[in-house]
Amino acid sequence: MKQIVTGLILFLLTIGNTLSAQDQNFNKSWLFFNDKAEGAEKVQFDDSSWRKLDLPHDWAIEGPFDSKYNARCGGLPFHGIGWYRKHFLIPESAKGKVVRIEFEGAMYDAYVWVNGKLVGNHPYGYIGFEFDISQYLNYGQDNIIAVRLTPQDLSSRWYPGAGIYRNTWLKIDEAVHVAHWGTYITTPTVTDQKATVQNETTIENKNNQEATITVIQEYFSPEGKSVGKTEETMTIPAHSSKVSGTWCNIKEPKRWDLATPHLYRAVTSIEQNGKILDSYQTRFGIRHISYNKDGFYLNGRKIRFNGVCLHHDNGALGAAVYRRADERKLQIMKDMGVNAIRTSHNPPSKELLELCDEMGLLVQDEAFDVWSMPKVPNGYNVFFNEWAERDIKDMVKRDRNHPSIVMWSIGNEILEQKDKKYGWKTAKMLNDYVKEMDKTRPTTAGFNHYSGPYDNNMAQQVDIAGMNYKPTKYGEVRDNYPNLPIYGSETSSCTSSRGVYHLPIEKYKTHESLHVSSYDLIGPPWAYPPDIEFHFQEQYPHSMGEFIWTGFDYLGEPTPYGGKDNSTNGYWNGDWPVHSSYFGAVDLCGFPKDRFFLYQSQWTSKPMIHLLPHWNWKGMEGQNIPVYCYTNCDEAELFLNGKSMGKKVKGKDLTELKVDFLRYEPKTFMSKYRLSWDVPYAAGELKVVGYKNGQAVQEKIIHTAGKPAKISLSVDRKNIDASGTDLAYVTVRIEDKNGNLCPTADNQIFFKLRGAGSLIAVDNGNQASLESFQANHRKAFSGMALAIIKSTETAGNIQLTATSKGLKSAKVVIISK
């Protein structure tokens, strides 16, 4: 039997975080129709004209953009009716077994039929679900599954996506098997000498008689070596479940940590009379976390959250899950110095959590943006009373084996904060639900109505109080609640458009260009420049850090344009065509804005230096241009055409910022986090040199660009997998004849692809562009654009060619293996 289990581990290493060996990917060959389809759940329904596609699928991202849709939700058609059908064969040999269908995410209010019989309903689009379909199947014959989704208008405050946008699985198990999300692995003792691994596994028996089985737990090191094994024999009554609880000591464990995210695997095997009935893999990490009033500790070491809030969409790809898209997003965040992710404001994809496990990122897993009091009329509040318990428990059950998760959030900016009578009771209820499922991590929530949740006994119901946009109150909360841990659960909310600079520097509400200056000081009334948060985090070291709003731009919520947050009167189309956010330190394409480097200068130690703005200001010769430098070096010296403009010392030479936000009286802030010069404009070369300990260690040069002359293409990876789901991201630059980026270029670029791939999306990061993400062309924005290529299941070369009138074309070759 040991040989069987060892063989299984090789297979299991290639699949998800918690899956059974019998699980089959169910994404291929679906049929889709986006409208009413009377009787589409019935077997005899004629679906021959329906569109053929593979999952995951987000129908809304296909567009078109239209002002009849809500700019608050991306200006895209995410609501309406969507039908999916699939014909599939179940072998005769599966009769008598348990057959289940799992949906990792369907947006939303999913109804599922098999062979014309209603199997079940699941409203919440952000958490997965499964149904036992055994009794509805025709074994050895054709079967039909039908899924109807009816996402509603005014159901979200941002772009939610639409469709079956995460993976699906078909599971064929023996009657005795590991339950859905059935393992719960904790490490109650962790030392350098040993770790105690505790494993509670729920086993289901769907037989008509009791079953006596042996549950075998075998543990494998990060290198794949067996490092421990337990066995437990148990009897499970008919049509019931039972928990197998065992523990195992692992010698000299390799701890999961930020720099060393070591991952172990448990293989749970169920044996009966020498036969393996089920084998189930769980990946986990050995690590210790703790919190107190003075901070967060990982493996005994104090860590501050250099965190970002992330929505679940991936820009031009919409909500559809692609592992590579999430991987790239997280890689870019890590380059910025990020060590923590807040999944704003809903449970994320399984893929994102797996990647955080692998990459050493801490996660706050968030359940809800709304409880029973609505922010928009058709939000989750419609389902909350009936579904909240199941959904939040399912979130914890699904995700509790991920070592990256260090907090459970029960909600964000909940309107019940103002409800003195019932708000705290709901918070306690949700907190208790979480604790039923997992007691090893603290609970939290993002509170923005200071001091309401503290005065109304709501903040006291969670272990850690998150504070949204209240850096000036960190000290006050410490004085009034000395034992309550706190952190900035949302901070800054600074807005900007990549590569756009408005002069003179002003603190304005909106700009006629429909863009926002990238001098990094503009934001809505509650918002403030990142420097303010840096300052107060330093002043109050008991705060556990911050999660900035946001790491990436996302679809919808185009603040400061369009409307007011939390308003329930509907549409944000007053500044159409803006339809995506300006909040990100990175734009919708994944191209860093200047703010990316401001955070990098505070959150990283490897010498870096960044310079802004661009240096193309024809017609402004001799006029002063504000020049900013973001660096983690000790000093920086600026040169214009070889002439020194002076050396500045970080922390000593301050930059005056214009500020105006709630609960802060001064209208200026003297920032020690930016260096600045006023430079009379002259075309040529602007260079900054960074010094550490008196030695030049970094430099950044910006040239005045000439006329656009050519296209330059670069790809994030030259080799991708011929899996049919892997992606390559191609960055497009408009350059002058010398290779300098043309910072204001907006040339129309046309793409042509040949070979073993397809062009699935284009973008440019322009929040006000109505160009289709699905087209084969795109205008440059601030001199840049993006093309996303997906592999096929056939290996071979993929060639992308980019052309534009009057410019030298370019091509790039990607190898799909």
pLDDT tens-place string over residues 166-208: 999 999 999 999 999 999 999 999 999 999 999 999 999 999 9
Q: Averaged over 22-47, what is the pLDDT?
A: 95
Residue 563 confidence (pLDDT): 83
Distance (Å, rounded) from C-alpha 572 to C-alpha 760?
A: 28
Residues 246-294 pLDDT 10s:
999 999 999 999 999 999 999 999 999 999 999 999 999 999 999 999 9
* Whole-number pLDDT of residue 183: 98
C-alpha span between 501 and 376 (Å, rounded): 34
**Tell me, which fold does domain 2-19+175-284 have in CATH?**
Immunoglobulin-like (2.60.40)
pLDDT-derived band of residue 11, with 50, 70 and 90 as boundaries? very low
Q: Which CATH number is correct for 609-703, 3.30.565.10, 2.60.40.10, 1.10.10.10, 3.60.110.10?
A: 2.60.40.10
Handedness of CA 472, 478, 481, 484 (dihedral sign): positive
Q: Domain 306-564 classified CATH 2.40.50.140?
A: no
Which residues fall within 8 angstroms of residue 780, CB to CB, at 6 or more apart? 732, 734, 745, 746, 747, 749, 764
Could you report the per-residue pLDDT of 404-427, keeping only the tens digit for each? 999 999 999 999 998 888 999 999
The domain locations on the chain are: 2-19+175-284, 28-166, 306-564, 609-703, 710-816
Measure the N-to-C terminal CA separation of the chain; round to a whole number of Å: 35
pLDDT tens-digit series, residues 467-494:
999 999 999 999 999 988 999 999 999 9
Write down the pTM of the prediction: 0.96
Cα distance between residue 643 and residue 623, in whole Å: 17
Q: What is the pLDDT of residues 609-635, one digit of tens each?
A: 999 999 999 999 999 999 999 999 999
Which pLDDT does position 375 carry in this prediction? 92
Cis-peptide, bond into residue 64, ω within 30° of zero: yes
What pLDDT is stored for residue 568 in this prediction? 57
Count CB atoms within 10 A of the CB of residue 457.
Answer: 14
For domain 710-816, the CATH class is: mainly beta
Which member of 204, 218, 351, 490 is catalytic?
490
Strand order in the sheet with 295-298: 289-292, 295-298, 301-303
What pLDDT does residue 663 have? 83
pLDDT on residue 17: 57
Q: Tell me if 524 sits within 8 A of 560, measured CB to CB.
A: yes
Query: Please, where are the H alpha helices in 349-422?
Result: 350-359, 381-399
Q: How many CA atoms lie less than 13 Å away from 105 in the CB half-sphere?
A: 25
- Compute the average pLDDT of residues 347-365: 98
Specify the pLDDT at position 566.
Answer: 64
Correct CATH for 28-166 of 1.10.40.60, 3.40.1360.10, 1.10.760.10, 2.60.120.260? 2.60.120.260
Whether 413 sits among the annotated catalytic residues: the reply is: yes
Q: What pLDDT score was predicted for residue 564? A: 78
| Whole-number pLDDT of residue 2 | 29
What's 11's DSSP letter?
Answer: H
Mean pLDDT, all residues of the chain: 95
Q: Which of 122, 207, 204, 160 is nearest to 313 (CA)?
A: 160
Task: Name the one residue in this structure whose structure tokens are 């005045």.
Answer: 704
Question: pLDDT tens digit string along 760-792?
Answer: 999 999 999 999 999 999 999 999 999 999 999
The token pair that represents 667 in the structure block? 């209208």
* Longest CA pairwise span in the chain (Å): 90
Give buried/exposed letters for 49-71 (b at 16+ CB in 10 A, else e): ebeebebbbbbbbbbebeeebbb
Predicted local confidence at residue 14, as pLDDT:
34
Share of the chain above pLDDT 70, in %: 97
Give mean pLDDT, residues 201-225: 97
Q: Look up residue 289 and give its two tokens.
A: 């976390």
Strand 685-692 versus strand 695-703 pairing type: antiparallel
pLDDT surpasses 80 at 567: no
Of 87, 85, 93, 84, which Cα lies nearest the Cα of 143? 87
Q: Do domains 609-703 and 710-816 have the same CATH topology?
A: yes
Q: How confident is the model at residue 23 (pLDDT cuts 50, 70, 90)?
A: confident
Residue 15 reports pLDDT greater than 70 = no
Q: Is the pLDDT assigned to residue 569 strictly greater than 90?
A: no
Q: pLDDT category, 570, cuts 50, 70, 90?
A: confident
Question: What's the one-letter identity of residue 693?
Answer: N
Q: Which residue in 218, 354, 413, 416 is the catalytic one?
A: 413
